[in-house]
Amino acid sequence: MEIICGRDYEHVSFKAANAIVRQITLKPDSVLGLATGSTPIRTYEYLVEMYQDGGLNFANVSTINLDEYRGLCAENKHSYHYYMEDKLFSHINIDRKRTHIPDGAELDAAKACADYDEIIRACGGIDLQILGLGHNGHIGFNEPGEVFTKGTHCVKLAQSTIDANARFFANIEEVPKEAYTMGIQSIMQAKKIIVLVSGEDKKDIVKRAFFGAITPEVPASVLQLHQDVILIGDEAALSECYIEKD
């Protein structure tokens, strides 16, 4: 695992955006695995800026998002469909037929998940997966305690996740209790993974996930087993980690 320490959120986002630009430049038909949450927002803004400056072409890029709330349709402002449109897709020349997010409006969980696994398979796997990190170590919506071998599945969100995500909703009752998420197995099959972390509130979970025991209790700890992971964090998020300086 490689660790890159940026000064602050801005610097982390800039480095993450550059890694994505590099991926698209080297392979214009890349399949990008994309995350939501607050951490990647500035990264997406950088990508939009680079696209508008003429340096990037998304025409042949495909995207596969990690997760979506079960029960929210694409038009719902709290859905990850809406987030991706708002933060990235509507600002770039990506072909919507090449963008994929689990179908939150499909209430038949088995169908929604099987359909999504088929989409991931048909895309030929993920070249570069971007991940955020939940305070309890979740990646996507893979909550603590689940086996590492799952594909896309429906999860009951942990109370701590519902509490953390309540800030995006008018009140906590509105936060969906379930979500569809790409499984750890599909995440681990990505050729390359970049994990973005920022802020002091992430320092303890960063330490547990990347320097602690590999255990389903900390889902992100499985990433220690991946052959090509880059952790990009700011000084605050990495403050509990030992990083060799050259």
Whose Cβ is closer to ligand GLP: residue 61's or residue 134's?
134
Q: Which of 142, 143, 165, 234 is catalytic?
A: 143
Whose Cβ is closer to ligand GLP: residue 35's or residue 56's?
35
The minimum distance between CB 22 and ligand GLP, in angstroms, equals 22
Q: Which of 65, 136, 142, 165 is catalytic?
A: 136
Annotated active-site residue 76? The verdict is no
Binding site for ligand GLP (CB under 6 A): 35-39, 66-67, 132-134, 140-141, 161, 165
Annotated active-site residue 153? The verdict is no
The minimum distance between CB 131 and ligand GLP, in angstroms, equals 6
CB 144 within 8 A of CB 184: no
The minimum distance between CB 102 and ligand GLP, in angstroms, equals 11
Whose Cβ is closer to ligand GLP: residue 53's or residue 166's?
166
Annotated active-site residue 138? The verdict is yes
What residues are annotated to the active site? Answer: 67, 136, 138, 143
